[in-house]
Structure 1
Amino acid sequence: MTKYVMWGTYCDDVLEKRAPHRQAHLDGLAEQKKSGVLITIGPTKDVTKVFGIYEADDEATVRQLIENDPYWQNGIWTEYFIKEWIQAI
């Protein structure tokens, strides 16, 4: 399977705006992690960007996971991009 890196941007006032969607977001990420498609994900310390590593058959699968996430659907993540990643070590 191919690995993909995702970088995204959070909305302004993210800590307040994410609250109603946070548990559903975390539950979904836990399922992705359990299935093996999500390697890791998290915000930068200043909570302006999100970084994730996925392992999937194709980029479309990763896009679907991101776009079905409550954070994307509710405007908590405001943009994202994905790059295929080659893990050297």
Structure 2
Amino acid sequence: MREMGAIASYQLGFSGNLCNPKQSRFDAAFGITWSEDERDQQLSARLSDRDLEAIGMLLAEDDDLRRENIKLRWQLAEFGADPYALPGDEGGDS
């Protein structure tokens, strides 16, 4: 669930003025308009490498869990156990 919050805040940041309200008030006061690409470039410049790395780690978490699950099922099969068998079932842990 925490990854959804990080992704949502990341997407909100790219949707416009939500990232920097002072900048948007200044722009509105002086009639300055920015294209979406310019706003994206400004935000990208403000995002630190640490922020981008944190977002990447959150997005990669599902892949890591999937990879670990596959590895564990393979290891169980190597030892002759059925990964889907209940304890006490034939082929399971008895």
Greater helix content: 2
Tell me which of the two structures has the higher relative contact order, counting C-alpha pairs closer than 8 angstroms and 6 or more residues apart: 1
Greater strand content: 1
Structure ID, larger Rg: 2
| TM-score where L is the length of structure 1 | 0.26
